[in-house]
Structure 1
């Protein structure tokens, strides 16, 4: 068969967008922060026109916004938008947990266990938020892969950047990292035992508690 595959590197603007997007997700660039083109050029080693193209791409994704007289800032989700995201996320993650119990193999079970161990280590001693977020990403990657439903995974990917940004903010709520760890541990036990109904219930409850933490974080941010 004739091989007609074409190998191309991502455009520069896409590479810059990935760098800025990751910085937003990890809260290195925080909601409301002004994005200075000169600093972004220094950070990425890219030209100003390429940075501007990347910012337009991120604006179309709803991650940044242009404000007259001020420039481009990291977009701050409203409380209503966050609540809507958590409502959808609760149902999707609960469903994924149920499917995982039915379909996941032992390799994916092991990846869930490894991710929880990473969270436990990150919670020991000084809180390592970056490591916690990385472990949570690993957990969810295994969860949705184990669910074995490409459409479900596609729906989640469409929300993933916003979910990751909100997840990082909830870790700032006092006591939330430890509570979150206990919820992940509980979910991992149900997934390991393949108790479908219990896993779905625990996964949904975890997201609803995260939504409460987010509301608390937004209230604190507004009053501060």
Structure 2
């Protein structure tokens, strides 16, 4: 096995690759280059309604990016707990589009199959998209059944008493007929994936294999 040497201020190969992928995605975020202007004031964390439940706060995520700890970010729960309220983005004094950057991090995690071991939000996303593509509409009951069976079937037993009460009252539906012309919807989704996104006119300059302020100067 070839030994990899680590030099001060330089990333290891794996982190450099993840950072390169991340920066290539940031190019498609309008004004994504503003991430380099973060002053670590913590306004994003103070504004976030779910920061109390995050293992890494929004402010710390940018600090970890500067430190070259991309894999630690992707392994965190934080990016999947974001509720897209845009409070951090609207209140940031540097106008950093943090919520949009969170979406970039989610895509990067999916592409590299790097997920948090404690929460399974990415699997809920996959189940959601599969059902939407198959039927054209959602059935919340079937969505949660499929999600529970995929993640932790035994844990679903505790929901049986509640499910029984809801069934008696006719509040649960197990039918999902889907929409008409599902093939048209699928072709639209397929076509949307082929559309090329516009790249920002002014590309930020980064050093992909460096850490700290050297990486964003």
TM-score normalised per structure 1: 0.24
Kindly indicate whether structure 1 or structure 2 has the higher relative contact order, using CA contacts under 8 Å at least 6 residues apart.
Answer: 2
Bigger proportion of residues as helix: 1
Bigger proportion of residues as strand: 1
